[in-house]
A and B are shown apart, each in its own frame.
Chain A
Amino acid sequence: AQSVTQLGSHVSVSEGALVLLRCNYSSSVPPYLFWYVQYPNQGLQLLLKYTSAATLVKGINGFEAEFKKSETSFHLTKPSAHMSDAAEYFCAVRTYTGNQFYFGTGTSLTVIP
């Protein structure tokens, strides 16, 4: 079964510093990959998605992610953290053929003033 692993359940960065949230997938065939953000007491918002059209994917709020097949990774980055980026971030995978859509365990991002 396809799955994603998020390394680091908690990440703290200073305001203005680089944000790096890690996601690795396990699949012999690159799946569809997504990053979602969840602010406190809210639903899930799509940040960006990998659809095999381009390995570097730009999303909303200045986030981007690079798909690296050799490393089976899809890490999320943002050059400069903002206080409003504090939230829970989930990497997710969708199968090509089915409708199974699974989340990683999530990474809680704290931004320090």
Chain B
Amino acid sequence: GENVEQHPSTLSVQEGDSAVIKCTYSDSASNYFPWYKQELGKRPQLIIDIRSNVGEKKDQRIAVTLNKTAKHFSLHITETQPEDSAVYFCAARIFGNEKLTFGTGTRLTIIP
């Protein structure tokens, strides 16, 4: 089955700087890659997603890039703010399958 690896597990960034989280997946049949943000004590919430027919997607300060050949995708957060502090999960899903395989999460801390 699909396996998703996520790095780093923890990341501390000075406020205003950029943060990058990387994930790799194993199954070339995966075609949907969402990123979820989970604040302490709250539910995971989708922040951005990308499909395999697109190489990059941006939404304000957040962007995701996908390299299908290398089977990896990354989350980029620019101009980080204190409210960006949370655990971020990447995930992958195979076409036609509702199951998401999650990475192990990255705890992002923004240092004021």
Do A and B make up one complex?
Answer: no
